[in-house]
Each structure stands twice: as C-alpha cells, then as structure tokens.
C-alpha cells in the first residue's frame, strides 16, 4: 500500500480513519482549485458526465479507454500508464484527487489502478461528484490542459493488491476470507447484474463458495461520503467477523465496486492484506466447474 504524503484534512481526521490522509473534503478541493501542485481527476461509469460538467480544472480518466488494455482483458502496462500520467501533467510530487459518479465507484477503481503502479500521492474526494453537485459548487465544461510531465513509471506490481482466479482458488483452499460486495440479489443468484441493469454477462448466478455478503454501498452515507470508522468496524468486524490481520479478497462483477470496498478496508480501517479480484463474477460465473453457491449467506 502506498499512502498519500500530504497532511490530512481536519474534518476527515474526526472520522477516525487509519489513513485519513487518503481522503479530502469538498471544502479542501474548493480551496485548492488554483493550486498548481494539485490535479483533480474525474472517473465515471457514465463517461459522458464529464462533458456535461465537471469540477473546474478537473481532467477526465476514462476507465475503459485510459486504464484498460484495448486487446487483452487486463490493465495498461507500464509504458501506457507512463504516457497517461505524463499527458495529465502529473508527477510524483503532485497531489492527485480522484472523484466520480456512483459514490466514487470508478474513482476508487482509478485510484486502485494507480496503486498497481505504486503512485505515492493519490486521494479520494469524500462524497464524489454527487456531494459536490448537491452543495451547488461550480461546474464547468471547458477542458483544461497542463504541461506534460516527465513522470517515469515503475513496472506494474499486481501481487500486493490484485488477485487472479488461481489466487482465489488457493485462498479458498487455505480458508481465506472472501467478501462479495454486490447487491443481495446478485449474491443469491436471483440476478446476474445489479438491479435496473441488463441481466447479462454471465451464464450462472450466485456467489463464490464461502463468500460473505457485504454490499459495497453499506460503507457510504446517503450523501455518498464514507461512513466513519466506528460505523465501518460495526459492519465488517462486529457483524462479519473480519480482523485487521486477515488475508481478504473482495470481488464484485468486474472489479469496480470491490475497489470501493478494498479502499475502505485498506485505507479507512487500515487492513494490511486486502486484494481486489477484478476478474470477479464475470470470470468466475462463466468458468466451467468453478465452485458456486446460490441463496443467502450460510
């Protein structure tokens, strides 16, 4: 885990997180809109939202085009990531703040991809796009440009925070803990996708054998901000029995919702061994003889 290097916001400190420096408030972003050492990055499920309006000075990172390999189902390699970061005018001295729609699903996803390359100073805007809009803060349509940086990317390091299917199988054999962050209907097998989305993408419904159901949205307040640490511990530790020292793998359908839970466990609660299985249910549910269960959590 790479922790941000800038000091934490006072109001974030009050929420009791293990790594409060990983979050900033809307007030903090508003106060740093003209700070040359800060870059704001919008990453959304709806890739057209940025064009409708965005935080002044914010740049867009398209999760499909910018973060994903365009041929293989994988993330960009070192060269492509380096090109992206240079184009954004970012280097390791820049404080990068991610925000987006869906209570920061894709913002935490982009943050997670940046951590595959060990980027040292990334943060999440607590509450994301929804909170910024709800507070009637300024939105613009002009697209900013910044001088290209000379950032040099390291090789991508997956093992620390990413799990592949073979890792999940080994994890299950060793009795490791697995968190399914999808909706209850997806967990039971009633639906193949989130409610109100096309029911497509997998041949089988259900969940990975032995997984525990903790829908990602339980970690969020109604305004999209993260619940405080005490409330999060009540969910993950008192209710589900997780411990800080546990080896945990989180998954959803394609890895974006589980990146939100990965962020919560890693940065807000300070867990040391959390990986995101980005193959998630689209891989597991389509794999011959992968062990599946249906129905509610046992």
Active-site residue numbers?
A: 252
Report the 10 Å Cβ neighbour count for 79.
9
Contact indicator for 285, 292 with CB cutoff of 8 Å: yes
Q: Which residue has the tokens 């962020």?
A: 263
Distance CA 162, CA 179 (A): 14
Contact indicator for 184, 213 with CB cutoff of 8 Å: yes
Contact indicator for 165, 289 with CB cutoff of 8 Å: no
Report the 10 Å Cβ neighbour count for 240.
14
Tokens read off for 184? 């209850």
Distance CA 43, CA 97 (A): 11
DSSP strand pairing (273-277 vs 59-60) = unpaired
């Amino acid at each position: 885990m790479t922790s941000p290097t800038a000091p934490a916001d006072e109001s974030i400190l009050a929420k009791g997180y293990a790594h409060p420096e990983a979050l900033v408030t809307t007030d903090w972003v508003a106060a740093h809109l003209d700070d040359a050492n800060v870059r704001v990055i919008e990453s959304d499920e709806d890739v057209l939202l940025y064009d409708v309006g965005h935080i002044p000075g914010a740049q867009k990172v398209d999760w499909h085009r910018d973060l994903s390999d365009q041929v293989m189902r994988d993330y960009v390699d070192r060269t492509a990531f380096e090109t992206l970061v240079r184009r954004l005018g970012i280097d390791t001295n820049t404080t990068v703040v991610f925000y987006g729609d869906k209570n920061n699903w894709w913002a935490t996803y982009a943050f997670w991809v940046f951590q595959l390359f060990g980027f040292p100073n990334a943060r999440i805007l607590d509450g994301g796009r929804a909170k910024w809009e709800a507070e009637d803060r300024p939105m613009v349509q002009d697209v900013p440009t910044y001088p290209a940086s000379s950032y040099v990317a390291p090789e991508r390091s997956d093992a620390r925070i990413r799990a592949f299917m073979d890792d999940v199988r080994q994890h299950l054999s060793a009795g490791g803990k697995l968190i399914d962050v999808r909706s209850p209907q997806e967990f039971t097998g009633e639906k193949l996708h989130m409610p109100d989305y096309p029911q497509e993408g997998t041949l089988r419904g259900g969940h990975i054998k032995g997984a525990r159901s903790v829908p990602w949205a339980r970690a969020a307040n109604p305004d999209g901000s993260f619940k405080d640490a005490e409330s999060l511990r009540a969910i993950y530790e008192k209710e589900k029995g997780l411990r800080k020292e546990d080896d945990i793998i989180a998954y959803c359908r394609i890895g974006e919702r589980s990146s939100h839970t990965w962020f919560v466990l890693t940065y807000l609660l300070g867990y040391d061994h959390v990986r995101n299985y980005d193959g998630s249910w689209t891989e597991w549910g389509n794999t011959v003889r992968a062990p599946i269960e249906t129905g509610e959590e046992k």
